[in-house]
Amino acid sequence: MNGRPIFVREDREQGGSGGGYRSNKSGKSKGCQLFVQNLSYDTTWRDLKDHFRQCGDVEHVDVLEYPDGRKKGCGTVRFYQAEDAKEALETLDGVELMGRDLAIKIDHKA
């Protein structure tokens, strides 16, 4: 599109997209998005999603890339429930994934 490649992937799990804070499937609690830094350049969105799934129901994951396709070494993880995001922040911040210690914070720009 406009001289840039577009990559499309199918997400076969339930859930939609949207902002970092939104009502979850049951409408009872708000979701939350985390910003994850210090990712290995080999980390895929699936690796990141699988790692964060241990803390709760993950709505969406994105590994950020430059326009030429090189990875930036950071990404976002959006949870349906804010409590799950809080647990991930408390338990996975500083934990190693693919040889790198993750740095995690709440994504206030979502």
User: 32-106: what fold?
Assistant: Alpha-Beta Plaits (3.30.70)
Give residues with Cβ within 8 angstroms of 38, minimum separation 6: 73, 74, 100, 101, 102, 103
The larger pLDDT score, comparing residue 6 to residue 45, is at 45
**9-47 pLDDT per residue, tens:** 665 554 444 444 344 444 445 789 999 999 999 999 999
Q: Could you state, in order of their start, the residue ranges of all structural domains in the chain?
A: 32-106
**55-92 pLDDT per residue, tens:** 999 999 999 999 999 999 999 999 999 999 999 999 99
Do 78 and 110 touch, CB atoms closer than 8 A?
yes
3-state secondary structure 37-104: ECCCCCCCHHHHHHHHHHHCCEEEEEEEECCCCCEEEEEEEEECCHHHHHHHHHHHCCCEECCEECEE
